[in-house]
């Protein structure tokens, strides 16, 4: 399925070809690839090098996977059940050295997931992040301490055919990808004035 970004200036092909599919092939991910995508996440920058991110990794067939899947909202459960790997991303709210609030804990964790995603693209894998999960179910299923916020659930796998999905999901799988114009998001001189 080709959903290549329609770029104006041309960007790296790994970024251009990344998108969030809901159809995954029924094959597992090689351990070395998982090791590399996790290592990529760990090399992300963070405020004071706190590295506030943590990840719980479930592989299809194991208990962790089932506990993550149980926590997804029904809409996401329907398609994510086909992904070979489901990951919960967590972020520590406080700095370890002084227990002060870390205002950038979510920012840093998102950036670590971006690194993971870029390496995944390099490995021929696709990533689909989800906010649609039940916070309490995930928290209870994994005894997550209060100082950690549950950020997302992340599906990772090899892309499958849209034909594996029901009609509604298939339609969104085939739909065009859209983005705001750069003029709407990059400014100069004052807020709202296009950089371009």
Ligand X SMILES: Cc1cc2nc3c(=O)[nH]c(=O)nc-3n(C[C@H](O)[C@H](O)[C@H](O)COP(=O)(O)O)c2cc1C
Q: Which residues bind ligand X (CB under 6 A)?
A: 19-20, 76, 129-132, 152, 177
Rounded Cα gap, residues 95 and 117, in angstroms: 25
Residue with Cβ nearer ligand X (49 or 175): 175
Residue with Cβ nearer ligand X (131 or 185): 131
Give the residue closest to ligand X by C-beta.
Answer: 132
Q: How far is the CB of 114 from ligand X (least distance, A)?
A: 9
Strands in 44-147 per DSSP E:
53-59, 85-92, 126-130
Q: How far is the CB of 4 from ligand X (least distance, A)?
A: 11
Residue 53, φ and ψ in degrees, nearest 5: -75, 145
Residue with Cβ nearer ligand X (99 or 135): 135
Helix (H) or strand (E) holding 155: strand 148-157
Q: How far is the CB of 69 from ligand X (least distance, A)?
A: 13
| 53 CB-contact burial (10 Å; exposed 0-12 / middle 13-18 / buried 19+) | buried
Residues with Cβ within 8 Å of residue 48, at least 6 apart in sequence: 95, 97, 102
Residue with Cβ nearer ligand X (34 or 153): 153
Q: How far is the CB of 113 from ligand X (least distance, A)?
A: 8
């Amino acid at each position: 399925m080709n959903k290549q970004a329609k770029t104006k200036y041309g960007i790296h092909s790994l970024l251009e070809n990344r998108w969030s599919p809901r159809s995954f092939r029924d094959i597992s991910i090689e351990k070395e690839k998982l090791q590399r995508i996790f290592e990529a996440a760990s090399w992300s920058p963070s405020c004071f090098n706190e590295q506030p991110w943590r990840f719980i990794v479930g592989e299809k067939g194991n208990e962790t996977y089932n506990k993550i899947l149980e926590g997804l909202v029904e809409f996401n459960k329907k398609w994510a059940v086909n992904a070979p790997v489901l990951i919960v991303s967590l972020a520590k709210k406080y700095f370890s050295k002084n227990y002060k609030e870390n205002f950038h804990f979510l920012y840093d964790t998102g950036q670590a997931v971006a690194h993971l995603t870029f390496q995944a693209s390099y490995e021929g894998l696709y990533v689909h992040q989800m906010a649609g999960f039940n916070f309490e179910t995930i928290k209870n299923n994994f005894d997550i301490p209060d100082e950690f916020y549950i950020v997302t659930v992340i599906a990772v796998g090899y892309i499958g055919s849209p034909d594996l999905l029901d009609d509604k999901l298939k339609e969104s799988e085939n739909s065009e990808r859209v983005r705001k114009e750069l003029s709407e998001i990059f400014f100069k001189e004052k807020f709202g004035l296009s950089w371009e």
